[in-house]
Amino acid sequence: MYICSMQSNELIKGTLKTIILNLLTQNGKMYGYEITQAVKELSKGEIQITEGSLYPALHGLVAEGLLVTESMNIGKRVRKYYKLTKEGKAETKKKLNEFSDFIVLMQGVLNLKPAL
Amino acid sequence: MQLSDLHIEIIKDDIKKRGISSDALGEDLLDHICLLVEDELNETVEFKTAYLNVVSKFGSFKLLQEETTKEITSASLLTKIYKYFDYAFTLFYILLGCFSLVFPFVVLYYHPIEVFVILSPVLLFGYIVCFTRINYKKFELIQFK
């Protein structure tokens, strides 16, 4: 699903949609290639999202009504920007809270000290 | 280095041949592949080498199409079910609120005040449930505008 140089796939599975939604909250609108590059840059190359996982997730989010697309012609090709809908903004907040709660829970279960 | 229109047409045809049937996914992949190929192109690397190198890292296009279709189908179904229940619950709460507004007058008309006093906690519960739901919907609309 992912190509990850350092982090385990198992740890990252299930967070792809949260990553996409959060990036779009911060950047307004982005296209597929831009999302993969942003994740690579933010994770300092540790997480590299493949096209095989990115586009099913993006199209799924559009079908769920959380994202809409905006097309722009670049010569002979079309660049599709993805941006959040009203429901998408609400879902992002929900997913981020869920993820934050999960981290706190796992810190308790595994008896880990939070990083300062 | 920018790709020529001919190169873009070649990539577009090849994506279809490799099993991408959806136009929406095809447009995304065309732009994505073009950007990756443009990154690889330079004075020494020609289009064909750069393109084959990019495509070899993609994995199966058919699988990508299947995964996307599967994701869209399940997401559409879930969204429809969620929306249906959301509308149904909102309608139910509004009807409950209307009933709670009318019911006291009916009780007061046919029965003594004592019956109304006994039923008042039920009516109050109806009001609270209904207006909490309406306020939540208003909050959703305001917050995520």
Domain limits, chain A:
2-109
DSSP secondary structure of B28-44: HHHHHHHHHHHHH--SS
* C-beta atoms of B59 and A90 within 8 A: no
Q: What angle do CA A60, A28, B74 make, to 5 degrees?
A: 10
- Residue A1 and residue A71 in contact, taking contact as beta carbons nearer than 8 Å: no
Helix (H, G, I), strand (E, B) or coil at A78: strand
Helix (H, G, I), strand (E, B) or coil at A80: strand
CA distance A92 to chain B (A): 11
pLDDT at A113: 73
Closest CA relative to residue A62, chosen from B35, B25, B65: B25
pLDDT single digits (tens) B59-107: 899 999 999 999 999 887 877 787 788 788 878 877 877 877 787 778 7
Contacts of B144 (CB under 8 A, 6+ apart): A86, A87, A89, A90
pLDDT at B135: 72
Name the band, by pLDDT with cuts 50, 70 and 90, for residue B142.
low
Identify the residue with better confidence: A112 or A37: A37
CA distance A86 to A67: 9
Judge whether residue B6 has pLDDT over 90.
Answer: yes
Give the one of A64, A71, A80 whose C-beta lies nearest to B75's C-beta.
Answer: A64
Domain limits, chain B:
5-59, 78-143
HSE at residue A86, side-chain half, CA atoms within 13 A, is 8
A40 interfaces chain B, CB cutoff of 8 Å: no
A75 interfaces chain B, CB cutoff of 8 Å: yes
Contacts of B76 in chain A (CB under 8 A): 63-64
Contacts of B64 in chain A (CB under 8 A): 51-52, 55-56
Q: Which two tokens stand for residue A3?
A: 């190509």
A14 interfaces chain B, CB cutoff of 8 Å: no
pLDDT single digits (tens) B114-141: 877 887 787 788 778 777 777 776 665 5
Q: Which two tokens stand for residue B94?
A: 């509004």
* Residues of chain B above pLDDT 70, percent: 94
pLDDT single digits (tens) A54-101: 999 999 999 999 999 999 999 889 999 999 999 999 999 999 999 999
What is the DSSP pairing of strand A77-84 with strand A2-4? unpaired
* Residues of chain A above pLDDT 70, percent: 87
A78 interfaces chain B, CB cutoff of 8 Å: yes
CA distance A21 to B126: 37
CA distance A63 to A65: 5
Name the band, by pLDDT with cuts 50, 70 and 90, for residue B2.
confident
B9 interfaces chain A, CB cutoff of 8 Å: yes
pLDDT at B61: 93
A51 interfaces chain B, CB cutoff of 8 Å: yes
Name the band, by pLDDT with cuts 50, 70 and 90, for residue B11.
very high
Query: DSSP H helical segments within B18-112, as ranges?
Result: 23-40, 47-56, 61-110
Q: Which helix (H) or strand (E) holds A30?
A: strand A29-30
Torsion-angle region of residue A14: left (phi > 0), alpha (psi -120 to 50) or beta?
A: left
Identify the residue with better confidence: B58 or A21: A21
Interchain CB contacts (distance < 8 Å): A and B = 83
Judge whether residue A53 has pLDDT over 60.
Answer: yes
Contacts of B60 in chain A (CB under 8 A): 52
CATH number given to A2-109:
1.10.10.10
| Distances, alpha carbon B133 to alpha carbons B80, B136, B141, in Å | 20, 5, 13
